[in-house]
Structure 1
Amino acid sequence: MPQSPELLRRLLRAKDRMDRAPHEAWPVQRLAQVSAVSAAYFARQFRQAFGLPPHRYLLTRRIERAVALCRDTQLPITEIAYQTGWNSLGTFGRIFHDITGHSPGQVRAGGPLPAQAPECIARAARRPDLDSAVSEKRRGRAAGTTEPSTTEVP
C-alpha cells in the first residue's frame, strides 16, 4: 500500500532531524513525536519508505561522518567517536569495524581512492554496508562465511 504524501512529509521531517544532528540520541519514540505518529507505526513506515529501520539509518549517517572525519582530519579517534554520537570508544570501534571492515585507524591510513574514479563511485565505495545487521555479520564471521545471511527477522 503506497504511503500518503502527508505521511512521507512527516517521515522526512524526522529523517532530516537525524541528518542535521546524527550525534544526538534519536530513540524511536523521539522520532515518532517529530512525525506526530505512534512509535510502532513510525518504525514500520520509516522502514517501508526508506528501506532501513530508523536505528540502522542513523548508524549509517554516524559511520559515514566518522569515515569522512578519519580520512579528512587529524582529529584523535576518540574525538571523532564523541563528535559522531558515540559515548563509548570501544562500542564505536567495534561497530565501525563491523560495518566498514576496517578499524578507524586503518581507514585513516588508507587514504583516498584514486583520482580517476568519478565522485559518485568514490562515495559509493566509502558508504558503509548496512544491508544486514551488525550481529548477522559477526555471526557469519564466527561461522566462517564471508557473506551475511540474506534473511532478516522483522
Structure 2
Amino acid sequence: MDPLNNMLTILDAEMGAPSRIEKTGSWAVRFDEYQQFRIGAVLRGDIWLRVDGGAPRRLSEGDCYLLGDGKPHVIGSDLTAPASDGDAETAETGGLETARSAAADPAAISSVVLTGSLGLDQATEPLLRSRIPGYVEMKSSSYRSQVARPILELLSRENAWEIPDADLMRLHLSRILLIQLVRTALRTADGCAAAPPDRLLTRMDERIRCALDLIHRQPSKRWTVANLAAAAHMSRSVFAARFRTAVGMPPLEYLEMWRIRSAAAVLQSTDRTVSSVAAQFGYSADSTFSRAFKRVTGRAPKQYRQLAA
C-alpha cells in the first residue's frame, strides 16, 4: 500500500457544523486566522476569494475550495465592499441555520456559500498539512466537485438533525470529503493527468520518507530512533531533528500514534481479541497496549470498540 493510502486508511477527520451564507447585492465576509482546514462550496452565484497576501480568485456556482495555510481570507461578490465578521456571523449559525443579509428577501438572494472547518487527527495532520497546497480548488465541471457539494449539504443536515447516529454519519462523510480534496491536490497543474499516488511525500527528504515507509510497513518491529536513523543513513541527532521538522512530532511519538490509529481501525472493523491486535502492532503486554491506546485516543481499547459499534 502506498504512503498516501496508508495515511487515508487510518485517517480520522471531522467536519464542523457547516454554515450557509446567503447574501444579496454587494457583500464581503472576512474570516480570521484558523487552525483547521477551511472548506467551502459556492451553491449560487459567482464570488471572489482572496487570502491575505494573495491575488483574488474567481469562483463560480458549483465550485468548491479548500484552504489550509491558516491565513485570514475574504469571500464576497465585491471585495471592496465593507466586510462583515465571518467568524461571528457563522458562529451564530450552523447546520441548516443561515447567515443572511439583513432584511434580505429569500427570492432576491444572489449568492449562497456553504463553509465550514475540517479537522484531522494528530497522526496524519502534520503530513497532510505540510504537503497539501494552501489553496485547492475544484471546478464545478469536475467529478470531485460534484461529489463534494452533496457531501457538504448532507453534513449540514446531519448537524441540524439530533439523531443517535449523526456522529457516525458525520465522521464517514468527513472522511469521504477529505479524500476527494486530497485526490484533487494530487492532480497536476493542468488538472488533467493524475500525479503519482505518493506525491504528497515527494518534497520530503527521501531518507525521512524511507523511515516513514518502514514504520508504515512494519509497525510491529521494535523500532528505535537509532535503528530508524541507521535505515535512513543519517546520524541519530540529525535524523531526529529532520523527522520532527518534516512530520511535526518526534519519531517514536509518531510510531506510537501510527500503531494505535492502525490498531483502532482493526478493532473497529473486526472482532479480533485485544491481545491479538496488540501483538500485531508490536505490544507484547495488553497493559502496555491499553495505556498507549488511551493516551492516543482517550479511551481504553474495549471502550473504543463499543463506542464504534
* Superposition TM-score, scaled by structure 2 size: 0.34
In the alignment, the residues of structure 1 paired with residue 211 and residue 289 of structure 2 have an alpha-carbon distance, to the nearest angstrom, of 24
Gaps in structure 2 of 5+ consecutive residues: 1-201
TM superposition shift of 1:111:
2.2
Q: What do residues 60-90 of structure 1 show as CA deviations (whole Å, max 9, x unaligned)?
A: 1100111011111111111111011111111
The 2-side partners of 1:7 and 1:111 are apart by: 34
Amino acid at match of 1:60: M
Partner of 1:39: 236
Deviation at 1:36, TM superposition (A): 0.7
User: Corresponding residue for 2:214?
Assistant: 17
1:78 maps to amino acid: S
Distance 1:7 1:34, change over 3 A: farther
Query: Is the partner of 1:102 in helix, strand or coil?
Result: coil
1:55 matched to 2:252? The reply is yes
Identity, in percent, stands at: 34
Q: Which amino acid aligns with 1:19?
A: H
Instruction: Give the 3-state SS of the residue equivalent to 2:205 in structure 1.
Output: helix
Partner Cα separation in structure 2 for residue 63 and residue 32 of structure 1: 22
Counting only pairs closer than 5 Å after superposition, residues 76-91 of structure 1 correspond to structure 2 as 76-91=273-288
Q: What is the identity, as a one-letter code, of the residue corresponding to 1:109? A: Q
Q: How many matched pairs? A: 108
How far 1:94 moved relative to its partner?
1.1
Pick the structure with greater CA Rg: 2
Instruction: Name the CA distance, whole Å, in 2 between partners of 1:7 and 1:28.
Output: 18
Q: Does 1:96 align with 2:290?
A: no
**Contact 2:204/2:246 (<8 A) preserved:** no
CA distance in 2, matches of 1:68, 1:40: 32
Structure 1: runs of 5 or more not aligned:
113-154
Work out the CA distance in 1 between the residues paired with 2:305 and 2:223.
28
Q: Which has the higher helix share?
A: 1
Q: Distance in 2 between matches of 1:57 and 1:89?
A: 20
Aligned residue for 1:120?
none
Which of 262, 278, 294 is the matching residue for 1:65?
262
Q: Give 1:32's aligned amino acid.
A: A
Alignment partners' CA distance in 2, 1:9 and 1:65: 24
For residues 270 and 223 of structure 2, the distance between their equivalents in structure 1, rounded to whole angstroms, comes to 26
Task: Give matches, 1:93-132, under 5 Å.
Answer: 93-111=290-308
AA aligned to 2:283 is W
**Using CA pairs below 8 Å that are at least 6 residues apart, which structure has the higher relative contact order?**
2
2:217 maps to a residue whose letter is R
Bigger proportion of residues as strand: 2
1:115 corresponding residue in structure 2: none
1:116 alignment counterpart? none
In the alignment, the residues of structure 2 paired with residue 64 and residue 111 of structure 1 have an alpha-carbon distance, to the nearest angstrom, of 13
